[in-house]
Amino acid sequence: MSTRTLYRDALLCTLAGDAGWGLVDNAAMVAEGGTLRWVGAASELPAHLEIDEEYHLGGTLVTPGLVDCHTHLVYGGHRADEFELRLGGAGYADIAAAGGGILSTVRATRMASDERLFADARERAMAMLRGGVTTLEIKSGYGLDFAHEVRCLRVARRIGEVLPLTVRTTCLAAHALPPEYAGQADAYIDHVCSWLPRLAEQDLADAIDAFCEAIAFDTAQIERVFKAARGAGLPVKLHAEQLSCLGGAELAAAYGALSCDHLEYLDAAGVAAMAAGGSVAVLLPGAFYFLRETQLPPVRALREAGVPIALASDHNPGSSPMLSPTLVLNMGCTLFRLRPEEALRGMTVNAAQALGLHDRGRLAPGQRADFVAWPLNHPNELCYWIGQPGACRPFIAGAPWS
Ligand code: DI6
Ligand code: FE
């Protein structure tokens, strides 16, 4: 029989309904085998419940564990030099066109040993975990050939094995054109398509992503990747409409994409397609901030169309070198004008949906016992403090992490 654990003396923010914080004061939760079995006011705890283990949460605020549903955590080197160039006036796309940008990280990643990649990615994942993240997506996309993409996906899988958090891996081989295929984008896409069945067979990727942009791949090329993903039985996502509107979101939604991400330039047709296709809109305020973009994603139109909105760090060395989940929440509110409750739903229940996960993101019976105790009095403080709002205590599948 699995251990039955009681957690008491918490202010719960359950997000259990479709709207509202779902606050429960003087609350308790009971978990068994890593799953929540009972959630409610302590005064209503069923009598005669046999409890094996008990945690007192000291009156702290408890939210569902945070879900960071879009990161590029595995890479070599960094791009602080490029940051300086951009501050001096160089454009992100210009740097990419000159062979810098993503390709400079590809060079550093290919040169890094497996151990270096693993040790650096593990540190980054630990920072996320310390910040309250209990489920983390990690994309490849800095290998850009079969062997290096596989290496990066293996490193990502290993992070999920050595740390208690859940890691979902995404193959982003169609991220940029590797130098050995310069001028032959279609040939590179053929190769990428041929890798997908092997990735699925080896269980290395939970989803397939691509970058639809003038500096990356066009919709015809992306569609070929999506067809191959479908053939391999893998769900898709897309980096769409970040720097321009190419109609990527519409295409992705037609392929039942779990999510379309970035979306600053998303148009009305894209919003409608996402609503019809059931794709989550993943907004990435860190990249918007770091690239000093001015085009805001169409938050109001997404809301009105009923498209679930998620927020993520987009952690990567080029456009969003951030490792603070609560700073993502803050930026989602300050930059994109999300309401604090929308922002928190965006890093819990909606982010879980963007990963195809429906067993987490709320505090309710049947959900995983992934939650975080914060030294705060109200969940709006998660969005208010700029960055880390004091040390939090994550519990994963019911067990405290420290
Ligand atoms: N969009 C992004 O924000 C990252 N990738 C992408 O397609 C940035 C990647 C980088 O600059 O290294
Ligand atoms: Fe990204």
Ligand 1 centroid–CA 239 distance in Å is: 9
Say yes or no: 57 and 77 in one domain. no
- Quote the crossing angle between the two packed helices 146-162 and 114-130, to the nearest 10°: 40
Ligand 1 centroid–CA 212 distance in Å is: 11
Atom of ligand 1 nearest to the CA of 284: 3
Query: Parallel, antiparallel, or unpaired for β 35-41 and 23-32?
Result: antiparallel
Measured CA to CA, the distance from residue 20 to residue 13 in angstroms comes to 9
pLDDT for res 167:
98
User: For a pLDDT cut of 70, what percent of the chain falls above it?
Assistant: 100
Ligand lying closest to the C-alpha of residue 92: 1
Q: How sure is the predictor about 120, in pLDDT bands with cuts at 50, 70 and 90?
A: very high
Say yes or no: 35 and 146 in one domain. no
Q: How many domains does the chain have?
A: 2
Ligand 2 centroid–CA 366 distance in Å is: 31
Atom of ligand 1 nearest to the CA of 287: 3
Measured CA to CA, the distance from residue 311 to residue 328 in angstroms comes to 7
Residue 1 has pLDDT above 80, yes or no: no
- Cα(first)–Cα(last) distance of the chain, in Å? 26
Query: Are the beta carbons of 236 and 258 closer than 8 angstroms?
Result: yes
Residue nearest to atom 7 of ligand 1 (CA): 211
Say yes or no: 389 and 299 in one domain. no
Say yes or no: 250 and 292 in one domain. yes
Q: What is the pLDDT of residues 327-357, one digit of tens each?
A: 999 999 999 999 999 999 999 999 999 999 9
Q: Which of 354, 370, 392 corresponds to the end of one domain?
A: 354
Measured CA to CA, the distance from residue 219 to residue 216 in angstroms comes to 10
Ligand 2 centroid–CA 139 distance in Å is: 8
- Quote the crossing angle between the two packed helices 185-201 and 219-231, to the nearest 10°: 20
Q: What is the pLDDT of residues 81-110, one digit of tens each?
A: 999 999 999 998 889 888 899 999 999 999
Measured CA to CA, the distance from residue 186 to residue 181 in angstroms comes to 9
Measured CA to CA, the distance from residue 100 to residue 349 in angstroms comes to 36
Write the CATH number for 162. Answer: 3.20.20.140
> How are the residues of the chain apportioned to helix, strand and coil, as percentages rounded to the nearest 5?
40, 25, 40
Mean pLDDT computed over every residue of the chain: 97
Q: Is 18 exposed, middle or buried (0-12, 13-18, 19+ CB in 10 A)?
A: exposed
Contacts of 147 by beta carbon, 8 Å cutoff, 6+ apart: none
Q: Which strands, in side-by-side order, build the sheet including 393-396?
A: 35-41, 23-32, 4-13, 53-64, 371-374, 393-396, 399-400
Say yes or no: 55 and 125 in one domain. no
Ligand lying closest to the C-alpha of residue 314: 2
Say yes or no: 39 and 106 in one domain. no
Can you tell me which residue has the tokens 């910040």? 131
Query: Are the beta carbons of 149 and 117 closer than 8 angstroms?
Result: no
pLDDT for res 86:
94
Q: How sure is the predictor about 388, in pLDDT bands with cuts at 50, 70 and 90?
A: confident
pLDDT for res 389:
83
Q: Which residues of 283-315 are buried (b: 16+ CB within 10 A; e: fewer)?
A: bbbbbbbbbebeeebbbebbbebebbbbbbbbb
Atom of ligand 1 nearest to the CA of 101: 11
Say yes or no: 277 and 373 in one domain. no
Contacts of 183 by beta carbon, 8 Å cutoff, 6+ apart: none
Measured CA to CA, the distance from residue 285 to residue 372 in angstroms comes to 23
The residue type found at 97 is A
Say yes or no: 85 and 207 in one domain. yes
347: its two tokens:
């890093």
Say yes or no: 84 and 177 in one domain. yes
For ligand 1, pick from 72, 83, 264, 265 the residue to mutate: most ligand atoms within 8 Å of CB: 72
Q: How sure is the predictor about 402, in pLDDT bands with cuts at 50, 70 and 90?
A: confident
Q: Which of 320, 335, 354 corresponds to the end of one domain?
A: 354
Q: Is 397 exposed, middle or buried (0-12, 13-18, 19+ CB in 10 A)?
A: middle
Write the CATH number for 24. Answer: 2.30.40.10
Residue 300 has pLDDT above 90, yes or no: yes
pLDDT for res 89:
93
For ligand 1, pick from 319, 320, 322, 328 the residue to mutate: most ligand atoms within 8 Å of CB: 319
Say yes or no: 299 and 167 in one domain. yes
Ligand lying closest to the C-alpha of residue 286: 1
Beta bridge partners of 68: 136
DSSP 208-251: EEEBBSTTSB-HHHHHHHHHHHHHTT--BEEEESSSS--SHHHH
Ligand 2 centroid–CA 314 distance in Å is: 5
Say yes or no: 294 and 393 in one domain. no
For ligand 1, pick from 107, 109, 144, 239 the residue to mutate: most ligand atoms within 8 Å of CB: 239
Supply the DSSP symbol for 65: P
| Of 6, 73, 18, nearest in space to 42 by CA | 6
Say yes or no: 49 and 26 in one domain. yes
Least confident of 193-197, 211-215, 251-255: 211-215
Residue nearest to atom 3 of ligand 1 (CA): 319
Q: 338: domain range?
A: 66-354
